[in-house]
């Protein structure tokens, strides 16, 4: 039998039940660290046993797309294929098949499955600003400014941070990059005109 306990995060000593859900900080019996532990009913929730899906007994009964021998219990919310209890993956009240879940995660179609994003707006702004801030690398702007402009245009519609974020970084990157490119253009023009005439 597995003993249910809440441990001290520092010394792993199981905390006494009377120390849980107390209004103030209580010392751990093992390391004397002051702890405040709040537990919720989910701690006591028993895990439901895994289901394997019922076997199709009657000829012509709806069967699972992935397991033809298993009885279908519901359709996939993404593709509409019939699924057995084994293939049913529930996510926020919707039911998906493993394939839809996988494609939803990789293509970012199911937002709540997304666990990583690249911040192209930050990359564009850094390319536009960093060589100027690090004064000694100003000459790199001849490469980084067009790169920043490209990034800002190419990824203008790409998803930004999952928490609200405006397009201000893209706009600033474009302004700084354009100014730098214009500066290089004027500089080269003046150099050429001074050299040849």
Tokens of 164: 């609200």
Q: Is residue 116 involved in binding other proteins (CB under 8 A)? A: yes
Shortest approach of other proteins to residue 44 CB, angstroms?
A: 5
Long-range Cβ contacts of 130-137 (<8 Å, 24+ apart): 132/176, 132/180
Q: Is residue 56 involved in binding other proteins (CB under 8 A)? A: no
# chain residues binding other proteins, by CB under 8 A: 43
CA distance 39 to 18: 12
Q: Is residue 41 involved in binding other proteins (CB under 8 A)? A: yes
Burial 145-175 (b: 16+ CB within 10 A, else e): bebbbebbeebeeeebeeeeeeeebbebbbe
Tokens of 65: 């797309």
Shortest approach of other proteins to residue 74 CB, angstroms?
A: 21
For tokens 């707006």, the residue is 121
Shortest approach of other proteins to residue 98 CB, angstroms?
A: 19
CA distance 72 to 84: 4
Q: Which of 49, 133, 136, 164 binds other proteins (CB under 8 A)?
A: 164
Q: Is residue 35 involved in binding other proteins (CB under 8 A)? A: yes
Name which of 72 and 110 has its Cβ closer to other proteins.
110
Q: Which of 13, 103, 126, 178 binds other proteins (CB under 8 A)?
A: 126
CA distance 83 to 90: 12
Q: Which residues contact 85 (CB under 8 A, 6 or more apart)?
A: 51, 52, 53, 54, 70, 73
Q: Is residue 168 involved in binding other proteins (CB under 8 A)? A: no
- Give the Cα-Cα-Cα angle 166, 168, 171 (nearest 5 degrees): 135
Name which of 92 and 193 has its Cβ closer to other proteins.
92
Shortest approach of other proteins to residue 49 CB, angstroms?
A: 15
Contact pattern for other proteins over residues 66 through 105, marking x by CB under 8 A: --------------------------x-------------
**Chain residues in the site for other proteins (CB under 8 A):** 3-6, 8-10, 17-18, 20-22, 25, 33-45, 47, 92, 112, 114-120, 122-123, 126, 161-164
């Amino acid at each position: 039998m597995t003993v249910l306990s809440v441990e001290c995060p520092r010394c792993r000593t199981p905390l006494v039940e009377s120390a849980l859900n107390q209004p103030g900080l209580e010392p751990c019996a093992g390391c004397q660290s002051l702890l405040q532990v709040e537990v919720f009913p989910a701690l006591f929730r028993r895990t439901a046993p895994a289901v394997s899906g019922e076997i199709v007994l009657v000829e012509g009964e709806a069967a699972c797309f992935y397991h033809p021998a298993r009885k279908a219990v519901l359709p996939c919310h993404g593709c509409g294929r019939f699924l057995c209890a084994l293939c049913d993956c529930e996510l926020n009240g919707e039911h998906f098949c493993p394939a839809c879940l996988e494609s939803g995660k990789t293509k970012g179609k199911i937002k709540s499955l997304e666990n990583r994003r690249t911040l192209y707006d930050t990359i564009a702004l850094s390319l536009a600003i960093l060589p100027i801030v690090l004064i000694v690398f100003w000459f790199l702007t001849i490469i980084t400014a067009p790169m920043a402009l490209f990034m800002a245009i190419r990824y203008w519609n790409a998803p930004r941070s999952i928490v609200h974020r405006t397009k201000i970084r893209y706009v600033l990157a474009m302004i700084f990059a354009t100014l730098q490119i214009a500066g290089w253009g004027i500089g080269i023009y003046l150099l050429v005109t001074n050299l040849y005439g």
